[in-house]
Structure 1
Amino acid sequence: MQHTSPLAALRSLLKERELDGMLVPRTDAYQSEYCAPYDDKLEFISGFDGSAGLALILADRALLFVDGRYQVQARQQVNLAEFEIHHLHDEPIHLWLHENLSAGKRIAFDPLLMVNSQYESLRTSGCDLVAVNDDPINEIWAARPAIPRGLIRQMPDEISGESTASKCARVAQALAHEGVDYLALTLPDNIAWLLNIRGSDIPTSPVPLSFALVKNDGAVEWFVDDAKLQQLDSSVLDAIIVHHPDAFLERCQQLAAGKRFLLDGDNTPVAVRFVVEQGGGEIKWQPDPITLMKANKNGIELEGFRSSHIQDGTAWVNFLAWLSHEVPLREAAGNPVTELEAQEKQLAFRQECDNFIEQSFGTISAAAGNAAMCHYHSAPETNFAIVGNEFYLNDSGGQYYNGTTDATRTLNFGQLDSQRRLHYTAVLKGFLSLISLQFPQGAQGHQLDAFARRPLWELGLDYDHGTGHGVGHNLLIHENPHRMAKKVNPWPMVPGNVLTIEPGYYLAGSHGIRIENQVEVVPSVPGFCKFASLTLIPIDLSAVELPLLSEQEIAWLDDYHQLVRETLSPHVSSIARPWLIEATAPVRTQRM
C-alpha cells in the first residue's frame, strides 16, 4: 500500500501492531541534544529540526510538543494541517495523555530513546506503555542517512589537565562510596571526559557516540564502533576492553546477577533498567558522578578556556569591524549584507585562528523579525538583509582544541525606535545585574536567575528560555548539570564552573535581543563567589538609553571594555583596531 507521507505510513504500521499511538522524541540513545541525521526520527516524521521536542502520533491526531524557544519555528516547519503544536513544559506529555486519552490506550515507545524519569512520569498517565525494540520508523524510513562513524582523537593530558588513570581512580572511589559494582555510562561527553578523547560523529559536538561500563575498581569496558578508533594510540586502547555498541545491553544483562548498578535516572535509557532487572541485578538511582567532576574545571582547562576566548574575541572583533563598515555602505548601494553572508564571513575569521576546529553550534545569524525565534537558523528562503533600522542578532561559538566558546551580540547600525531601545536597555541591565553579582558559594542557578529578569519584569516583559548553561571543555556547548533558569537546578555553583549569562527579549514578527557572555565562577570575599568574564567582545551601546544606566553599571561596562581593548588590541587586524578602540570607549565619553 502506498502512503503519501511518513505519518500515514507510521499510522498504518501502528494499526497492524494493534497500537493506539507512538511517542517519537527528538533524541538518540545517547540523549544527544544535536542528533546525527541517522537518529533524527522527529524531523523525519514531522519536519521539525529543533534541538528539543517530542511527537505523539495517534490514529486521528498528531501532536508536536516543543519548548518556548521553538514555538514560532515549529509552526513554520511542520504541516499544521497534520500536526498540532503544544508547549513541552506548560503541557507535560504525561498530563496530556491522562486528560485526553482513555485508560489502557496502548502507546508505543523505543526504550533506548526514553530515560527512566520520563518513563516513570508517563506511567502515571493511565496509558499502557508498550516498549518496542523494533521501532516501526526504522521500517518506513527508506532513505535513512548512514550511521555516523566519525574518527576519534586523543585529548592530551597537557590540555585536559588530568590523566585517564587518575580520573578512573576518582570514579572508582565514588562508586565504592555509593556501594555499587558498576556505573553504566550512556552520555558520550562523560565518556569523552573520562577517556580523554574527542569524537566527530555529530558536527559541533566533539564526542564519540558510545557506551561504557566502569567497574568499582576503575576498569572500563567501552562499547564503540572500532571503525572510529584508527587514530588512537595503543596506550589508550590497551587500558580498556572494547566491544561493539550493539553488545552494550546484552553485557549489562550478563553482569547483572547479584550486582548493583548505578544508573542516572535523568540520562540513562530505560532499556538499561529493563535488562539489569531481567538479569537479576539491583539498581541504585543516582546522578552520574562524572557529570559533576567534569563541570568542575581544573586549572589547565580554565587556562584553555581563557586562551580560546582571546582567539574567539579576536575573530569577533575582526568580524564586527567588517560589519560596521559593510552594512551601511552596502545598504546605501542597494546591495545589503545578508544573514547568510554575515555568518559565512564570521566563520572565515574564526578559521584564521590557530586552535579553531569547528563551530560549537549552528550560528544564529538573525535580522529583524527572524531574531524573534530564539534558535533561528538562516536559510536561502528566509535570508533577511541586515539594515540600519532593525536589530541584527548573532549567537555563535567555536570549538577550539583547548576550549569551547559561546557568545551573543545584538547590533544596531542605524536609528531605532524608542520601543526597541527600551527593550535593549532592559536586556542589558539584566545582563549587568547578573554578571556583576556577588553570591554565596554553593548558590544554585534558579536562585540567581531572577537578577537577569528583573529589569524586564519591571516592564511587564520576560523571556521563555534559561538565563545560562554550563559549557564543556572542547565538549558540548550545553553541559550539565549547571543551569540558570526558573526551573529548580539543585547543583551548587563553585569556583571552576563555566557557564553563560544570556538574558533576552523577543517580540514575534518584530525583533529579538540577546546579550551573552561566557563566564567562570571565581572566589570573591570569604564564603562568596562572583563571575569573571571569559568572553572578550565589545557590547554595542548605540541602542542603549544611557540615562537609564546606574553609575555601577557604567563602571562595569567601562572596566570590561578596557579589558577587551587591552587584551585584544595586539591580536586584531590593523583594519579592525580603530573600530575596537572606538567600540570600547568609556561610556562617560558617549554620554557627552
Structure 2
Amino acid sequence: MAKETITELRKQMKAHNIDAYMIVTDDFHGSEYVGDHFKCRAYMSGFTGSAGTLVVTQDMAGLWTDGRYFLQAGKQLAGSGIDLFKMGEPGVPTVHAFLVDKLKEGQTLGFDGRTVNAKEAFALKRDLEEKGAGVVYEQDLVDLVWKDRPALSAEPVTLLDEKYTGESREERIRRVREVMEEQGADLFVLSSLDDIAWLLNIRGNDVAYNPVVLSYLVLGRTEIRLYINEKVLDDTVREALEAAGVSFYPYDQMYEDIKKINKKHTVLLDASKANFAIVSNIPAEVPVLDRPCPTVLMKAVKTPVEVENERKAHIKDGVAVCRFLHWIKTNVGKIPMTEISVAEKLDEFRRMGENYRGQSFGPIAAYAEHGAIVHYSATPETDKEIKADSFLLLDTGGQYLEGTTDITRTVALGNITDEMKKHFTAVLKGNLNLVSAKFRKGCLGINFDYLAREALWEMGLDYNHGTGHGVGYYLNVHEAPNGFRWKQVPERNESAAFEAGMITSDEPGLYLEGKYGIRLENLIVCEKYMENEYGEFLQFKPLTFVPFDLDAVDPSLMTEKERARLNAYHAEVFEKISPYLDEKETRWLAHETRAI
C-alpha cells in the first residue's frame, strides 16, 4: 500500500514543483492524540505508531521515529521502500538537519502548514533560505492522494457546569483579558484545544482520550470569535456561549480572517503552541507578541472546587482499580488472561463508576519483559499471556466529570525474586519520598526529582523518563507547565514554580530490558503547608488511593520513616476505599494495606 501512496504523492509533488514533502503526526492544534482525519503519516507510510515524521523526495522516502517504535516501524515499513531513521541513534540526522543537507539552492520543501508547529517551521525555513531553498506550506498534498479520507470529527459539544469547575467562563475570559491589557494586546489567538475547552468551560469528543472540541478562538477586548462546526452546538450550548459574548464562525474561515487583521491591532499568541499557517497568515505589518500562553498557567492551577472534585474522581477510580487488583490476584493462573484482556477488564470496572466518560489515554498493560518497554502498547500480535510468574505493569487512567485520573501499579504475580523485590522497593521509596516533600514556594520540579531517584541512583540505576507531568481537570492527561525532571530539557515547557492547586504525577520506575519493568504512579496535589517569617511553604498530598503490592516489598530495605510513610498511606487507602467494597474485597484490602 505504502509504495502506491508514495508514488501518487511524488506525482503531486512534481505537479506542484515541490522537491521534498514532509508529513508530521500532528493535527491543526498540536494535539497529543489525533483523529482519523489527521492520520496522514500513518496512511502514507503504513506505520501506525503515535510519533513519527515522513519525508519524501523523488529519490528517497524516510520515516523518523523514536526508540519506542523501532521494532514496530521496522516491521510495518518492510518492503515499502521507506527507510527507517532511528531518532537519537549515533549518526542519524534529525529531520531538520537532513532536509537542510538534502535540499539544494532553488529547491522547495512542502508541508501542510496547519500541521507543523510555528517555532519549528520558522527555524527550518530560516536555515533552508540561507541555502537558497524555499518553503511552501499551503498545499495539503496528502488530501489529493487520500481519496476516502475520513471527515473531520463533529461530536456534540457539552457545557461543563460551574459545580465542576468552580469558575464561570465569563470570569475566565475576564482574567485572560486582564493579561491582554497588561501586555498591550488587542487580540489573543488561541488554537490549542484544551486551552479553548478550559476557557469556555466546554467539553467534546473530537480527539481520542482528550474531551476537547475542534475549534480556534480569537479573543478581542470586546469580541470573542469561535471558529467551529456549528452543527456540534445545540441550542443550550449556543445560548450559554452567546451569553458570554461568543460569536460563531466556520472552522476553516480562521485562516482567511487572520489575513484581515487590522494593522493597528497587536496580536498575542504563543508560537510554541500555534501552527505555522496561523502565524504566517498574520499580515507582516501587524505587531505580534510571542509570549507564553496565559491560559496554560491558569489552567494548571485548579480551583478549590476542581481539587475537591478530583478527590471524588480518585475515590471512584480507586474503587475500580482495587476491585480489579482483587480480581486479578484471585484469578491469575486459574482463568485465561492476556495483556489486552486485563486492560479491558479494568475498564469494565471503571465503567461502573458514576460520571465515567472513558479512558484518559491508551492503556498500558505490560507483562514480564514487555514491562521494560516504557510506552509499550499491546497489539493482537504481541498480546502476551499472563501467568503467575512475573510483574504485570498497568498504567491506565479515566476521565470523569469530576476529573482526570492516571495511575500505574506494578503487580507481583507468583514467585518474585529477591532482586525484583529490591528494585520494586527502591522505586516505591522514591514515590513515597517525593510526595512527602515540604518546600518553599517558588521551587520548580527540578528541585524535587532527586527525592524520587535517590534509592535507584545509590545502586547505579535510573529510568529514562521524567518523574512526573501535570494533569488536566477532565481534560488532557498530560498538561504543562508543572512536572518533575532531574535536568532541564529545552523543548519541555515544565519551568513553572509549583503553586497550590497544581496536580502532578509522581511516577518513578525501573526497566530491565528482556526481564521486567516497574513503575509506581500516583497523582498528587500541591497545597499550602504553612507560612512564617521565612515565607510560604507548600506540600504535596496524594489524590490516588490504591495499595502498593506488599508482595513485592522488602521492608528491611526501608528506613523506619519510609515504612511509616507507607503504613500511613495504606491506612488512608483502607479508610477511603473499603466503604465501597463487598465483604470479600474488603478482607482482601485489609490484608493488602496491613502495616509492615
TM bucket normalised to smaller: over 0.9
Change (3 A) 1:262 1:68: farther
What is the CA distance between 1:73 and its match in structure 2?
A: 4.5
1:354 equivalent in structure 2:
354
User: In the aligned structure 2, how far is the partner of 1:72 from the partner of 1:107?
Assistant: 29
Check whether the contact 1:319–1:346 (CA below 8 A) recurs between aligned residues: yes
AA at the equivalent of 1:468: G
Q: Secondary structure at the match of 2:326?
A: helix
2:171 equivalent in structure 1:
166
AA at the equivalent of 1:465: H
2:409 equivalent in structure 1:
409
AA at the equivalent of 2:188: L
Check whether the contact 1:424–1:513 (CA below 8 A) recurs between aligned residues: yes
What is the identity percentage for the equivalent residue pairs of Structure 1 and Structure 2? 34
User: In the aligned structure 2, how far is the partner of 1:422 from the partner of 1:22?
Assistant: 50
Task: Return the match for 2:301 from 296, 301, 315.
Answer: 296
1:34 equivalent in structure 2:
33
Change (3 A) 1:11 1:233: closer
1:109 equivalent in structure 2:
111
Check whether the contact 1:506–1:513 (CA below 8 A) recurs between aligned residues: yes
Measured against aligned partners, the alpha-carbon deviations of 1:547-588 in whole angstroms (never above 9, x if no partner) come to 22222221111111000000111012333111111111112x
Check whether the contact 1:295–1:497 (CA below 8 A) recurs between aligned residues: yes
Check whether the contact 1:28–1:39 (CA below 8 A) recurs between aligned residues: yes
**2:408 equivalent to 1:399:** no
1:483 equivalent in structure 2:
483
Task: Return the match for 1:221 from 222, 225, 228.
Answer: 225
Check whether the contact 2:25–2:52 (CA below 8 A) recurs between aligned residues: yes
Check whether the contact 2:137–2:277 (CA below 8 A) recurs between aligned residues: no
User: In the aligned structure 2, how far is the partner of 1:5 from the partner of 1:437?
Assistant: 57
Change (3 A) 1:424 1:22: farther
**Which residues in structure 2 correspond to 1:221-370 (within 5 Å)?**
221-230=225-234, 232=237, 234-238=239-243, 239-278=245-284, 280-330=285-335, 336-370=336-370
What is the CA distance between 1:71 and its match in structure 2?
A: 4.4
Change (3 A) 1:501 1:289: same
**2:150 equivalent to 1:131:** no
1:14 equivalent in structure 2:
13
RMSD after superposition: 2.3
Change (3 A) 1:379 1:281: same
What is the CA distance between 1:86 and its match in structure 2?
A: 2.3
1:56 equivalent in structure 2:
55
User: In the aligned structure 2, how far is the partner of 1:478 from the partner of 1:460?
Assistant: 29
Change (3 A) 1:347 1:471: same
Structure 1 gap ranges (5+): 331-335, 588-592
AA at the equivalent of 2:278: V
Q: Secondary structure at the match of 1:575?
A: helix
**Which residues in structure 2 correspond to 1:366-385 (within 5 Å)?**
366-385=366-385
User: In the aligned structure 2, how far is the partner of 1:483 from the partner of 1:103?
Assistant: 43
Q: Secondary structure at the match of 1:349?
A: helix
The farther-off stretch of 103-112 and 547-556 is: 103-112
Check whether the contact 1:94–1:124 (CA below 8 A) recurs between aligned residues: no
Measured against aligned partners, the alpha-carbon deviations of 1:33-64 in whole angstroms (never above 9, x if no partner) come to 01001111122223333433323333444333
User: In the aligned structure 1, how far is the partner of 2:57 from the partner of 2:429?
Assistant: 46
Measured against aligned partners, the alpha-carbon deviations of 1:104-154 in whole angstroms (never above 9, x if no partner) come to 653222211122211233235446352232211111112322210010000
2:474 equivalent in structure 1:
474
The farther-off stretch of 3-12 and 150-159 is: 3-12
Change (3 A) 1:530 1:255: same
User: In the aligned structure 2, how far is the partner of 1:406 from the partner of 1:143?
Assistant: 36
1:590 equivalent in structure 2:
none
Change (3 A) 1:454 1:98: farther
Q: Secondary structure at the match of 1:481?
A: strand
User: In the aligned structure 2, how far is the partner of 1:408 from the partner of 1:326?
Assistant: 20
Q: Secondary structure at the match of 1:310?
A: helix
Q: Secondary structure at the match of 2:579?
A: coil
User: In the aligned structure 2, how far is the partner of 1:116 from the partner of 1:237?
Assistant: 31
Change (3 A) 1:139 1:345: same
What is the CA distance between 1:283 and its match in structure 2?
A: 0.5
User: In the aligned structure 1, how far is the partner of 2:189 from the partner of 2:294?
Assistant: 11
What is the CA distance between 1:373 and its match in structure 2?
A: 2.5
Check whether the contact 1:482–1:491 (CA below 8 A) recurs between aligned residues: yes
AA at the equivalent of 1:37: D
Measured against aligned partners, the alpha-carbon deviations of 1:411-439 in whole angstroms (never above 9, x if no partner) come to 11111334433332332232223222223
Q: Secondary structure at the match of 1:535?
A: coil
User: In the aligned structure 2, how far is the partner of 1:26 from the partner of 1:42?
Assistant: 6
2:427 equivalent in structure 1:
427
2:78 equivalent in structure 1:
79
Check whether the contact 1:68–1:465 (CA below 8 A) recurs between aligned residues: no
**2:546 equivalent to 1:540:** no
AA at the equivalent of 2:231: A
1:558 equivalent in structure 2:
567
Check whether the contact 2:2–2:44 (CA below 8 A) recurs between aligned residues: no
Check whether the contact 1:296–1:497 (CA below 8 A) recurs between aligned residues: yes
Check whether the contact 1:54–1:64 (CA below 8 A) recurs between aligned residues: yes
User: In the aligned structure 1, how far is the partner of 2:11 from the partner of 2:458?
Assistant: 52
User: In the aligned structure 1, how far is the partner of 2:76 from the partner of 2:262?
Assistant: 44
Q: Secondary structure at the match of 2:226?
A: strand
**2:574 equivalent to 1:569:** no
Structure 2 gap ranges (5+): none
1:333 equivalent in structure 2:
none
What is the CA distance between 1:449 and its match in structure 2?
A: 2.8
What is the CA distance between 1:446 and its match in structure 2?
A: 2.9
Change (3 A) 1:85 1:417: farther
Measured against aligned partners, the alpha-carbon deviations of 1:486-544 in whole angstroms (never above 9, x if no partner) come to 32532111111011111222233332221110110112243332211100111113223
User: In the aligned structure 2, how far is the partner of 1:66 from the partner of 1:436?
Assistant: 37
**2:222 equivalent to 1:207:** no
User: In the aligned structure 2, how far is the partner of 1:388 from the partner of 1:373?
Assistant: 20
AA at the equivalent of 1:472: G
Change (3 A) 1:248 1:548: same
Structure 1 length-normalised TM: 0.92
Task: Return the match for 1:120 from 122, 144, 169.
Answer: 122
User: In the aligned structure 2, how far is the partner of 1:192 from the partner of 1:309?
Assistant: 22
User: In the aligned structure 2, how far is the partner of 1:439 from the partner of 1:40?
Assistant: 44
Check whether the contact 1:95–1:125 (CA below 8 A) recurs between aligned residues: no
User: In the aligned structure 1, how far is the partner of 2:118 from the partner of 2:268?
Assistant: 13
The farther-off stretch of 227-236 and 71-80 is: 71-80
Check whether the contact 1:315–1:353 (CA below 8 A) recurs between aligned residues: yes
Q: Secondary structure at the match of 2:389?
A: coil
User: In the aligned structure 2, how far is the partner of 1:557 from the partner of 1:454?
Assistant: 17
Measured against aligned partners, the alpha-carbon deviations of 1:272-296 in whole angstroms (never above 9, x if no partner) come to 2211135x31100001101111111
Check whether the contact 2:523–2:543 (CA below 8 A) recurs between aligned residues: yes
User: In the aligned structure 2, how far is the partner of 1:78 from the partner of 1:454?
Assistant: 41
Aligned length: 579
Check whether the contact 1:73–1:376 (CA below 8 A) recurs between aligned residues: no
AA at the equivalent of 2:204: G
Structure 2 length-normalised TM: 0.92
Measured against aligned partners, the alpha-carbon deviations of 1:312-345 in whole angstroms (never above 9, x if no partner) come to 0000111100000010333xxxxx3111221121
User: In the aligned structure 2, how far is the partner of 1:289 from the partner of 1:78?
Assistant: 41
**2:533 equivalent to 1:524:** no
Change (3 A) 1:136 1:467: same
User: In the aligned structure 1, how far is the partner of 2:495 from the partner of 2:302?
Assistant: 19
1:578 equivalent in structure 2:
587
AA at the equivalent of 1:117: K
Change (3 A) 1:474 1:96: same
